[in-house]
Amino acid sequence: MKVLKYFFLLVLLLTLKSCDKQASDEVFVLDVETYVELLKSNQYEYLDLPDFDFEDISELLQYRNEDQIITNFPYNPSSSFYDPESKLGMYILWTIESIRVASATSQQMNKRFPSQNPVLELRDSEKFTLVSDSLSHNVAASAYYDWWINNNQKDFDEFKSIDPLEKTNYKWH
């Protein structure tokens, strides 16, 4: 009987270990405050972005100007470029973009990632030019804020296809 008890305990422990959140493809639910706190403390353990929807955008926008550097966040595994750090505010804008793109497109997204990376690129540059300075961050933060404020009284279906960065010199990489 003791052997059966130990066997059951071993199976239970192995089962719990195999339920590692990082490897799970299941949708997980986080509130915005918890998400931001996990990012700020570099303790975000998931490989995917949370399954937020348009109702979370207003709260996410509160963090758009944050310039704290974060180093533990999900990134698009299909990208050949990897930047080990991001400004929290820029990453939050990328999260908002994931909500917008997931809602606006019928195409399947790769783990809710709206683009290759949470970094901006010059829109009309002849050569590939990534930007991550304060100016581009401020312009993007203002563009997303204005997009939301100018449209949030409408049904989200009416403006989810509008690219907030459309009238800027930037696009997501």
Ranges of residues in the chain whose predicted pLDDT is under 70: 1-28, 106-111
Could you tell me if residue 20 is inside a domain?
A: no
For β-strands 170-172 and 86-87, DSSP reports them as: unpaired
Give, as one character, the DSSP assignment of residue 60.
H
The pLDDT, as a whole number, for residue 126 is: 84
Interval 89-100: pLDDT, tens: 999 999 999 999
> Going by C-beta distance under 8 Å and a sequence separation of 6 or more, which residues neighbour residue 72?
39, 42, 43, 44, 45
Could you tell me if residue 9 is inside a domain?
A: no
Tally of structural domains, the chain: 1
The pLDDT, as a whole number, for residue 82 is: 79
Could you tell me if residue 53 is inside a domain?
A: yes
Could you tell me if residue 125 is inside a domain?
A: yes
> Minimal CA–CA distance to 63: which of 34, 24, 100?
34
Range of the domain at 159: 27-172
pTM, 2 dp: 0.81
Residue 20 near residue 2, CB atoms below 8 Å: no
